[in-house]
Amino acid sequence: MQARPEIPGKKPAHSPQSDLLADDLLEGVAAIATFTGLKPRRVFYLAENGLLPLFKIGHRWCGRRSTLIEHIARLEAGETA
């Protein structure tokens, strides 16, 4: 069976087996807010105060889906931030 050719400019669909950083990266407060269900202003506040595991690339807040899921799981388990 032949692999399908990639479409230029189209990102591959996210899959748990994927090792691509792009599949795990959330870029910008809006993307992080959509993923977490928080309001963008709240994400910005939590990021600025070190309460979410986010980082900056240039001037944009970024985060990893997997890291945010782990962080929320720790909070649910009663661990502190």
pLDDT tens digits in sequence order for the chain, 81 residues long: 555 555 555 555 555 555 777 889 999 999 999 999 999 999 999 999 999 999 999 999 999 999 999 999 999 999 765
Range of the domain at 62: 24-76
Residue 35 lies in a domain: yes
Residue 37 lies in a domain: yes
- What pLDDT is attached to residue 4? 52
Count of domains for the chain: 1
- What pLDDT is attached to residue 81? 58
Q: State whether the Cα torsion 79-44-41-63 is positive or negative.
A: negative
SS3 70: helix
Q: 60 pairs with which residues across the strands?
A: 57
Taking the C-alpha atoms of residue 77 and residue 49, their distance in angstroms, rounded to an integer, is: 22
DSSP tag of 51: -
Which residue do the tokens 């807010």 mark?
33
Which residue do the tokens 């928080």 mark?
38
